[in-house]
Copies of this chain bind each other. A is one copy, B any other.
Amino acid sequence: MIGTIEVCCFRLQQGQLQVLLHKRKIEPFINQFGLIGGGILAEQDTDIKDTASRVLQQRANLAWRYLEQVNTLANNHRDPRDWSICCLFLAIIDPEQKVNPHCKWINVFDLINSKVNLAFDHLSLIQQALLRLINKTQYSSLPVYFFADQFTLPELQDAYETILRSKLPKAAFRRRLNRPDILVATGEQDRSQNRPAALYRSAEQHLLVHFDQLMKGHSNTAPDTTHSDEP
């Protein structure tokens, strides 16, 4: 039995929520696509989060802006070779970063609808990570992490709407998010649209802000009642 991690990386690019896959070059599941993953190296990694960071760097040449444990899968059927224990992480990646050539970003909703065969249980892992992302977007400022630099409120609202796959009322959205503990106006403006929009960055030490009430899209996603059966 060996301990491994898998990282489900998300980014927003051109209004799409994308997930990172790579083509496996070894058995099992050779030439199929799967998540970025790897084993714990007890000599190098002081903590399992370090393992995730290191694997992300080594396999995909990526650094995360947000990294969170989602679930631990451990059973005798997910790996055809042996009992397997695997810790799943959700990462948010800055879209400016380039990835290695054997990696590709694809639309996560298209992927799930396509029912393509991924290596191991990786499709299920992606669904779990996506559910966590959707749930947390409903009640927190998490999507701020998708932006590396400055951004406008309409861009942030687009991020929420892309993740939740539903439109949100503009006034209420702005009332919620435009709080000094979440956003700080930089004084600059984005002039790429017609009327210029104020630019913001995340507040100093932007820890996740949790709201008291859900932002509900229209699409009804079941709550992530799971951490292997919660959120």
A10 CB, min distance to chain B CBs, angstroms:
15
**Complex Cα–Cα for A186 and B56 (A):** 54
B72 pairs with A47, CB closer than 8 A: no
A124, CB-defined interface residue at 8 Å: no
Q: Among B47, B87, B231, point to the contact of A230 (Cβ < 8 A).
A: B231
**Complex Cα–Cα for A71 and B87 (A):** 10
A106, CB-defined interface residue at 8 Å: no
Stretch at the interface among A112-120, A166-174, A187-195, A212-220: A212-220
Nearest residue (CB) in B for A216 is B212
- Contact digits for A176-217, partner B, Cβ 8 Å, 1 yes 0 no: 000000000000000000000000000000011010111010
Please tell me the number of chain A residues within 8 Å of chain B, measured between CB atoms.
40
- Contact digits for A88-118, partner B, Cβ 8 Å, 1 yes 0 no: 0000000000000000000000000000000
A178 CB, min distance to chain B CBs, angstroms:
20
A68 CB contacts on chain B under 8 angstroms: 227-230
Interface residues of A in 47-88 (CB under 8 A from B): 47-49, 51, 68-77, 82-83, 85, 87
A26, CB-defined interface residue at 8 Å: no
A40 pairs with B210, CB closer than 8 A: no
| Given the contacts A68-B230, A85-B3, A230-B68, A76 and B46 also touching, CB distance less than 8 Å | yes
Interface residues of A in 1-20 (CB under 8 A from B): 1, 3
Known: A46-B75, A48-B73, A74-B87; 14 extra A-B contacts, CB below 8 A, are A1-B40, A40-B83, A40-B85, A42-B82, A45-B76, A46-B77, A48-B74, A68-B230, A69-B72, A69-B228, A208-B223, A210-B225, A212-B213, A227-B231
